[in-house]
Amino acid sequence: MNDKLDCVVLRVIAHNERSVIVTCYSDTAGRVSFVSPGGNGKEARRRRALLMPLSVVECVGVSAHGDLMRMRDVRRPAGMSDLTLNPMKSVVALFVADLLETLTRNVEPDPQFYRFLRSAVSHLSAAGVRATANFHLALMAGIIRHAGIEPDASTWHEGYFLDLRDGIFRATPPLHGNFLSQQESEAARCLCSLTLGNSRFFRFNRVTRNRVLDVMLDYISLHLRDVRNLKSIDVVRDY
């Protein structure tokens, strides 16, 4: 099988002394894994530069063995910049790729979700400082919307509490502990409008940004898959 694929790189891990396993999310096949040259040879170095977390690449996937394919004709599409040239974007990309690697396990191919991811990487490529700082939050908000689990902002009234399990605002706190205070619930209602396109208009200090991160991770963990123990969380908190 020789398939031309557009991919977003999620993870690269060592396979043996001569090769690595590259996990990607692709436009037509969903989550795919490739075996790619490792080591310090010329081709390995070239590919390593292309296959950093959240990079967009075009390639031909060639059947190898088991669920693995080999990558041929790997290249970066025109107009896509190298995120590793910007330290802040590199950190954000590392976290987002880690998040996506967890969320895309054992899921069906979803071309619409791939288009969302491809557009998101384009936004990060062109983002200024504030949009970059908020990118991971806007991306998570987009994932929540795509999954159809966004909180129902129409249920908000002043003084209500956001029930994180049911995704609605309530007049009284639910008996379980998964809810936000009245003040944070009002802020969450405003964050329902957060998108990649308007993220630069949201002003957060580091403490507030990290609190929003924690709430979104809790919400995704309650509704999709547990993402509260990602290895890259502490890195993105500190930048």
All residues at 6 or more sequence positions from 232 whose CB lies less than 8 Å from its CB, including other chains? 94, 95, 98, 99
What are the tens digits of pLDDT across the range 1-15? 578 999 999 999 988
Which two structure tokens, joined as six digits, stand for 148? 């159809």
| Residue 223, token pair as written in the block | 């509704």
CATH of 2-75, one of 3.40.50.2000, 3.40.605.10, 2.40.50.140, 1.20.1740.10: 2.40.50.140
**What pLDDT, in 10s, does the model give residues 157-185?**
999 999 999 999 999 999 999 999 999 99
Predicted pLDDT of residue 47: 80
* Residue 163, both tokens: 């029930």
- Beta-strand relationship, 168-170 and 56-65: unpaired
Q: How many Å apart are CA 21 and CA 64, to the nearest integer?
A: 12
DSSP of 5-57, one letter per residue?
EEEEEEEEEEEETTEEEEEEEETTTEEEEEEEE-TTSHHHHHHHHH-STT-EE
Dump pLDDT digits (tens) for 39-61: 777 777 788 888 999 999 999 98
- Asked if pLDDT for residue 193 goes beyond 90, the answer is yes
Neighbours of 10 (CB within 10 A): 25
Domain regions of the chain by residue span: 2-75, 83-150+192-238
Measured at the CA of 200, the angle between CA 199 and CA 204, to 5 degrees, comes to 85
